[in-house]
């Protein structure tokens, strides 16, 4: 009975926190099943209710009726920079510095080579050995083509490594949040160190855009990349974004010189001339259905400030951690307890983490697993409430206490884990 009473008390306090939250009621902006606690928005965001009607209009009216005229009438042509400015508002970038285009991988490729060209004669690129694999793969590939040397240095050691590289440093390229553990890194300090030796800094915002006060402009970032399908809720395959600080745009030479990045795309000139501003970061014809779905999805942030979203994120993740403690869940936290070091997820360690996650999913608590032993739970504060956090903690306890993760069906892996 003690646990039940503890749980009831936790739930009551969580309900009070929800009622007082600046994000109170924003869950209604999403089409989520009532019986699901969705803790995987850091892999694929939930569906905002505004999206289906917009996509239906794009398909049936803009495309179906107006056909090619919609490139002008509906400003399909300007969608990539128009939506880029909406993303920019959430990541602290003034208008004209963000374009929605391509994938994170492709944009990182552009950023690494573009940075090398902005800093000719410098040869060193620093990046985190624990980065999401695409960051490592694309950085190595781009660096090989550009004649750059990649040094894999942990974020904790980056400032010292930058000083050691000195005037050889071209770029320090780091993720804002560790995708496995949820630890938030001090990219401002890394950026300041890079600038002190004349280098550049690129920030990967895949696990922070939409939930953390990023402040690209204020933080001095030179370049940044991020995806549209996680916390920004743009849907599966949503386009990513690329930020190029305005001070670099006139000299930014990205390597994928497609026709939509041309200064005069409809004059069909045989030689490439980059467009002014952030438009030069475009490549080919964008997936308009996805771009416009992302535009509609971003309306879920209407009336909300990044500061309010961040405060709610910290409150909800803190509630989950406190609930685990109060319920006696004895699993190591991979995520820092200190709010200033935490992104918008809580990761736990368990030797059978995959099976634990599958057992939770069977209960309607959808999270995910990362090798080798990470139970990764993302808390998108626009639709994950404090009450959800307490309920999720109770489910974790019951899965562990009942050893549900030992059921053989929870060891079976699909193509996507």
* Contact (CB, 8 A) for 201 and 112: no
CB atoms closer than 10 angstroms to residue 106? 19
First to last CA, the chain: 36
HSE of 179, CA atoms in CB hemisphere, 13 A = 25
Angle at CA 293, nearest 5°, toward 114 and 227?
A: 35
What is the C-alpha separation between 140 and 112, in angstroms, rounded? 9
- Is 376 considered catalytic here? yes
Give the CA distances from residue 154 to residues 141, 159, 173, 326, 334, in Å, rounded to whole numbers and listed in that order.
Answer: 20, 10, 11, 34, 16
What is the C-alpha separation between 353 and 349, in angstroms, rounded? 7
**Catalytic residue selected from 370, 376, 391, 397:** 376
* Contact (CB, 8 A) for 232 and 202: no
What is the C-alpha separation between 117 and 228, in angstroms, rounded? 27
**Catalytic residue selected from 128, 204, 373, 388:** 204
**Catalytic residue selected from 109, 132, 301, 369:** 132
- Is 204 considered catalytic here? yes
What is the C-alpha separation between 44 and 380, in angstroms, rounded? 10
Tell me the DSSP string of 89-107.
HHHT--TTSEEE-S-HHHH
Closest CA to 20 of 409, 386, 399: 386
**Catalytic residue selected from 30, 109, 229, 410:** 229
- Is 243 considered catalytic here? no
**Catalytic residue selected from 119, 122, 180, 230:** 230
The token pair that represents 56 in the structure block: 């239906």
Which residues, 6 or more positions from 403, have their beta carbon under 8 angstroms from its beta carbon?
none
CB atoms closer than 10 angstroms to residue 128? 23
The label of the residue with tokens 């794009």 reads 58
Give the CA distances from residue 105 to residues 124, 186, 240, in Å, rounded to whole numbers and listed in that order.
Answer: 20, 22, 9
What is the C-alpha separation between 370 and 24, in angstroms, rounded? 31
Catalytic residues: 132, 204, 229-230, 376
């Amino acid at each position: 009975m003690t646990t039940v009473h503890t749980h009831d008390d936790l739930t009551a306090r969580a309900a009070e926190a929800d009622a007082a939250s600046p994000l109170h009621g924003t869950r209604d902006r999403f089409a989520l099943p009532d019986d699901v606690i969705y803790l995987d928005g850091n892999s694929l965001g939930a569906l905002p209710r505004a999206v289906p009607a917009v996509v239906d209009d794009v398909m049936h009216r803009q495309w179906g009726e107006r056909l090619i005229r919609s490139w002008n009438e509906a400003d399909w042509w300007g969608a990539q920079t128009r939506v880029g400015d909406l993303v920019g508002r959430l990541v602290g970038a003034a208008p004209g510095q963000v374009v929605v285009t391509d994938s994170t991988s492709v944009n990182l490729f552009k950023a690494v080579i573009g940075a090398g060209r902005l800093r000719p004669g410098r040869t060193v690129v620093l990046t985190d050995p624990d980065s999401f694999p695409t960051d490592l793969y694309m950085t190595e590939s781009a660096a090989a083509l550009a004649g750059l040397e990649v040094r894999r240095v942990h974020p904790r050691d980056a400032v010292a490594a930058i000083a050691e590289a000195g005037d050889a440093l071209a770029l320090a390229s780091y993720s804002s949040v560790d995708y496995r553990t949820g630890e938030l890194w001090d990219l401002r300090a890394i950026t300041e160190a890079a600038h002190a030796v004349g280098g550049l800094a690129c920030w990967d915002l895949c696990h922070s855009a939409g939930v953390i006060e990023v402040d690209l402009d204020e933080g001095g970032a030179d370049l940044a990349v991020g995806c549209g399908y996680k916390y920004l809720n743009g849907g599966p395959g949503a386009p990513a974004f690329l930020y190029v600080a305005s001070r670099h745009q006139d000299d930014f030479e990205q390597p994928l010189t497609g026709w939509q990045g041309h200064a005069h795309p409809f004059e069909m000139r045989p030689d490439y001339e980059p467009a002014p501003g952030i438009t030069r970061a475009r490549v080919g014809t964008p997936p308009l259905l996805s771009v416009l779905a992302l535009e509609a999805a971003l309306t879920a942030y209407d009336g909300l400030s990044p500061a309010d979203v961040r405060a709610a994120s910290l409150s909800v993740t803190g509630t989950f951690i406190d609930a685990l403690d109060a319920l006696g869940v004895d699993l190591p936290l991979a995520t820092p307890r200190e709010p200033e070091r935490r992104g918008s997820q809580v990761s736990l360690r368990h030797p059978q983490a995959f099976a634990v996650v599958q057992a939770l999913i069977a209960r309607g608590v959808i999270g995910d697993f990362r090798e080798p032993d990470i139970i990764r739970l993302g808390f998108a504060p626009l639709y994950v409430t404090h009450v959800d956090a307490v309920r999720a903690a109770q489910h974790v306890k019951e899965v562990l206490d009942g050893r549900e993760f030992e059921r053989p069906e929870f060891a079976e892996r699909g193509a996507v884990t």
